[in-house]
Structure 1
């Protein structure tokens, strides 16, 4: 597992400085996904695998000045890019592994996770850890600014039947790790699975 984490860190470390410029038009998709999470003023939200913090301003706007926004990422260089972009003003930045989040159980009302699930070395363990830090009834958004087919095509691959984010695979995985899938959207211009933390 340590080797898998190192692979993820190495992959993102060399891409951090130019990450935002590679995807300059994703802002509205992030804002719409945050809106779908239905946060309320005063809520506590974790952006797990926050990368350069592109979701942090929308999350801050949703929870207001009385809410709490924390962005956690495994790669120091991504967090540094978030700081350079001024996104630390929207939320605290934390160097942390999604499989071992240094928050108490039930500490947050919701988790936003953009592109995270496919980079988890052990998806079941990671999703169970996200469930641990969310209060019962809290929400999870698994998001990507393009759908599964468009993402596969971007990488020159065809869409695989065993894709972790395919609804037949994702639904039981979420159920086994403390979540109930609420809504599932997989379109060319976005992937968004919303789940509720079970008791």
Structure 2
């Protein structure tokens, strides 16, 4: 396991137990982001870096009982918190690295990823791995329940031009990883970039 992985596991492992209580009002933002993905009944969707599984209930509601919902996370403590919250009833939980997913190529219709991109050790390769498991024409949603400026202010840091989530950087990054960015919103109350898997 790389140092990057160890750092991510330590960071989120230490915060897993009280993660949901720290951000209790994010539910509607998750629901709105999932609604923007255009999922249909029966679709197969991955929540990549699912954490405590806050996206799993709206994803399940979008794809219905015939759909498939999988939540993958690198941190065991986050998945255990998802189980304690009862969210394992909305999707199958996998202890897995999004850089090497134990899923068949083109087996999914969509990927939802909340707060993931800032924690990817190799963004081009990691986004390419997400593209691998999605069928051509499938959807990727990169989401955060607050925008970049609000998040930077919360963390006491400045936005920099190098930020991967800045629109001039994210479009080419996705384009080089098997995706075409179709929409981009960076507002105080949400960050949501949608992309379609290239054919």
TM range (shorter): over 0.9
Deviation at 1:159, TM superposition (A): 1.1
Partner of 1:100: 100
Are 1:41 and 2:41 matched, yes or no? yes
Inter-partner Cα distance in structure 2 for 1:5 and 1:158: 25
Aligned partner of 1:14 in structure 2 is: 14
Correspondence 1:42-191 to 2 at 5 A: 42-191=42-191
Q: Secondary structure at the match of 2:15?
A: coil
Unaligned runs of 5+ in 2: none
What is the CA RMSD across the aligned residues, in angstroms? 0.6
Runs of 4+ in 1 over 3 A off after TM superposition: none
Query: Unaligned stretches of 5+ in structure 1?
Result: none
**What is the CA-CA distance between 1:35 and the residue it aligns to?**
0.3
| Cα distance in 2 between the residues matched to 1:105 and 1:157 | 38
1:158 Cα deviation from its structure 2 partner: 1.4
Q: Provide the residue aligned with 1:32 in structure 2.
A: 32
CA distance in 2, matches of 1:57, 1:155: 28
Partner Cα distance (2:123, 2:81) in 1: 26
Separation of aligned partners in 2, 1:90 and 1:131:
23
Count of equivalent residues: 199
Please give the TM-score of this superposition, normalised by the length of structure 1: 0.99
Alpha-carbon distance between aligned partners in 2 of 1:123 and 1:81, rounded to the nearest angstrom: 26
Q: What CA distance in whole angstroms lies between the structure 1 residues aligned with 2:104 and 2:189?
A: 35
Shift of residue 37 of structure 1? 0.6
**Shift of the alpha carbon at 1:125?**
1.1
